[in-house]
């Protein structure tokens, strides 16, 4: 909810200056304050006004591609990935995010494409470099993922994904079909 409000305020001509939330009790307020306000403040304090640099990773296994179920908004299935930390290269971020979210090491990591449309992420303007790599190890969700699946190549476009990941996956499949890389 917070991301949608921020997006509205930042990207639309609006006179909206204050948003009032009516919460039923102290527990609801404390939960809201910790998760929503804390999250937004952390991102903006750490990274400024953006655009924010992110990575996504297409992790190939013999059975298919690894996707995660997000435990933070925006919810849904997505490629593993996240924000690049200060002092970290995008390659280091890809390796770290893959390990945190899937428990997999990466082999043969390469840059696939960069996606930068301002609306690709409903929360903020992000610029994501997408990597492709072979996964090494046994996949297991962790960190901010609440689930993990391995999707067969032929089923990849049948699902719904967070962000612009369906477009990313479609572009990846076109590249594979052409025999590139």
**Structural domain boundaries of the chain?**
2-47, 52-178
Decide if pLDDT at 4 tops 60: no
Which tops the pLDDT comparison, 67 or 15?
67
Which tops the pLDDT comparison, 80 or 1?
80
Reply yes or no: is the peptide bond before residue 51 cis, omega within 30 of 0.
Answer: yes
Does the global pTM surpass 0.85?
Answer: no
Return the beta strands (E) in 17-172 as ranges. 52-61, 64-70, 76-78, 81-83, 105-115, 126-136, 145-151
Quick one: the chain helix, strand, coil %, rounded to 5?
35, 30, 35
CATH of 52-178, one of 3.40.1390.10, 3.90.79.10, 1.10.10.10, 3.30.360.10: 3.90.79.10
Q: How many CA atoms lie within 13 A of 3 on its CB side?
A: 16
Decide if pLDDT at 28 tops 90: no
Which tops the pLDDT comparison, 4 or 85?
85
Residues in the chain: 181
What is the distance of C-alpha 158 from the center of its chain? 19
Confidence of residue 22 (pLDDT cuts 50, 70, 90): confident
What integer is the mean pLDDT of 109-126?
94
Which tops the pLDDT comparison, 60 or 144?
60
Rounded Cα–Cα distance for residues 39 and 108 (Å):
34
Rounded Cα–Cα distance for residues 83 and 124 (Å):
12
Which tops the pLDDT comparison, 110 or 24?
110
Decide if pLDDT at 5 tops 80: no
């Amino acid at each position: 909810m917070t991301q949608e409000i921020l997006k509205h305020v930042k990207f639309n001509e609006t006179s909206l200056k204050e948003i009032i939330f009516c919460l039923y009790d102290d527990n609801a307020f404390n939960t809201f304050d910790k998760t929503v306000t804390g999250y937004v403040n952390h991102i903006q304090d750490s990274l400024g006004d953006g655009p924010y640099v992110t990575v996504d990773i297409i992790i190939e296994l013999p059975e298919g591609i690894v996707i995660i179920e997000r435990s933070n908004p925006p919810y849904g299935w997505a490629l593993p990935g996240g924000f690049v930390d200060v002092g970290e290269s995008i390659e280091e971020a890809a390796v770290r995010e893959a390990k945190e979210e899937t428990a997999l090491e990466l082999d043969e990591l390469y840059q696939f494409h960069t996606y930068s449309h301002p609306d690709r992420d409903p929360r903020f303007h992000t610029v994501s470099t997408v990597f492709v790599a072979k996964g090494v190890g046994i996949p297991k969700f962790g960190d901010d993922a609440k689930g993990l699946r391995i999707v067969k190549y032929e089923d990849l476009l049948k699902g719904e994904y967070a962000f612009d990941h369906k477009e990313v996956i479609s572009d990846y499949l076109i590249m594979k079909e052409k025999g590139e890389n």
